[in-house]
Amino acid sequence: MTSPHTPDAELAAQPAAYWTGVAYEALIAFTRAQQAELGFTQPQYWLLRNLSKNDISPDGHGMTLPELRQAMSGYLRPEDDLAAEAEVLLERGWLTRDDEGRLWITEPGDEARARLKQHAPAIRARIHQGIDDADYVTALKVLQQMIRNTGGAVA
């Protein structure tokens, strides 16, 4: 749709929805590829984060798969199979399942979550390479305004 030398006037006329979609797919694919090289999947990481009182979970209480799907509904992709991902984590000993079907993070699971989290800054740095913080902030503010302009909610 563009070349490295596309004039600003032409860029200004291009559809934001197209570019946000392309960016989303590229960023997710890159992040997931980086995580796969490190031996884990993004949904596995999300499961650990959502079950850890040291991360997203307010109390570290176990959750069922439907509860986890609901908690992750804003970022879970249609192809993500939480049941299969949870089975991998159960086999690794990073999760346990109680008689009510609730998944609980184990101490080794929380240690793994903390190790996995250490890779996030390097992944972010690679994505942000060549983009200064001011430009990044401007881009986010523009996207937030577009969301408001179209009746969407900015969290």
Range of the domain at 86: 40-146
What pLDDT shows up at residue 4? 72
Q: Is residue 118 part of a domain?
A: yes
Q: Is the pLDDT reported for residue 155 higher than 90?
A: no
Q: Give the CATH number of the domain where residue 53 resides.
A: 1.10.10.10
Q: Give the chain's domain count.
A: 1
* Reduced 3-state DSSP string for the chain: CCCCCCCHHHHHCCCHHHHHHHHHHHHHHHHHHHHHHCCCCHHHHHHHHHHCCCCCCCCCCCECHHHHHHHCCCCCCCCCCHHHHHHHHHHHCCEEECCCCCEEECHHHHHHHHHHHCCHHHHHHHHCCCCCHHHHHHHHHHHHHHHHHCCCCCC
For 78-97, write each residue's pLDDT tens digit: 999 999 999 999 999 999 99
Q: Is the pLDDT reported for residue 3 higher than 80?
A: no
What pLDDT shows up at residue 2? 63
For 44-76, write each residue's pLDDT tens digit: 999 999 999 999 998 989 999 999 999 999 999
Q: Is residue 155 part of a domain?
A: no
pTM of the predicted structure, to 2 decimals: 0.84
Q: Is residue 16 part of a domain?
A: no
